[in-house]
C-alpha cells in the first residue's frame, strides 16, 4: 500500500520534527509527535512520545511502521493506539557495578595482566 500523497517523502527518525501528525494503520489520527526518543550517535531509535487528546503516550520503535515528512504511520490500528501506555521516566544515570570501578589498584592491574597472558596462551583473545 502506498502512503497518501499528503504525508510527503519518507524520512529518517533523525529529522522527524515535533508536531508531526501520527496515524494508526487504519488511517485514524492518533496524535502528534511531542518528542523522538533516540541516541543518534549510536543510531538507536527507541520510540516516540505522542501528544494525544487523552494526554501523552509512548510508542515503541517496533510499533512505528513508516516515517514521512508530514506524517508517521504506526503498525497499530486505532483501537490498539488508544491503549498505548503513558511514558515513564528513565534513570538519568546507571548505578556502577564493581566491574566498572575495578582495575585501579596494583593488585587489579597484576590480575588483569595475568588474565591477558592466560587468554593469549589459551586462545581466548
Beta bridge partners of 67: 72
Mean pLDDT, residues 22-47: 94
pLDDT higher at 53 or 88:
53
What integer pLDDT is reported at residue 113 of this predicted model?
79
- pTM (2 d.p.): 0.69
Residue labelled with grid coordinates 505522542: 50
Answer yes or no: is pLDDT of 1 > 50. no
Q: Is 66 in contact with 74 (CB distance < 8 Å)?
A: no
d(CA 73, CA 89): 25
Answer yes or no: is pLDDT of 47 > 60. yes
Domain 5-82 has CATH 2.30.30.240: yes
Amino acid at each position: 500500500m502506498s502512503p497518501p500523497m499528503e504525508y510527503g517523502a519518507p524520512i529518517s527518525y533523525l529529522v522527524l520534527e515535533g508536531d508531526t501528525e501520527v496515524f494508526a494503520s487504519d488511517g485514524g489520527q492518533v496524535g502528534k509527535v511531542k518528542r523522538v526518543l533516540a541516541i543518534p550517535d549510536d543510531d538507536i531509535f527507541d520510540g516516540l512520545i505522542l501528544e494525544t487528546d487523552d494526554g501523552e503516550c509512548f510508542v515503541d520503535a517496533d510499533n512505528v511502521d513508516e516515517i514521512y515528512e508530514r506524517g508517521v504511520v504506526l503498525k497499530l490500528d486505532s483501537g490498539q493506539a488508544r491503549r498505548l501506555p503513558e511514558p515513564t521516566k528513565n534513570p538519568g544515570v546507571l548505578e556502577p557495578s564493581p566491574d566498572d570501578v575495578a582495575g585501579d589498584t596494583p593488585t587489579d592491574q597484576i590480575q588483569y595482566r595475568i588474565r591477558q597472558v592466560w587468554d593469549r596462551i589459551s586462545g581466548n583473545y
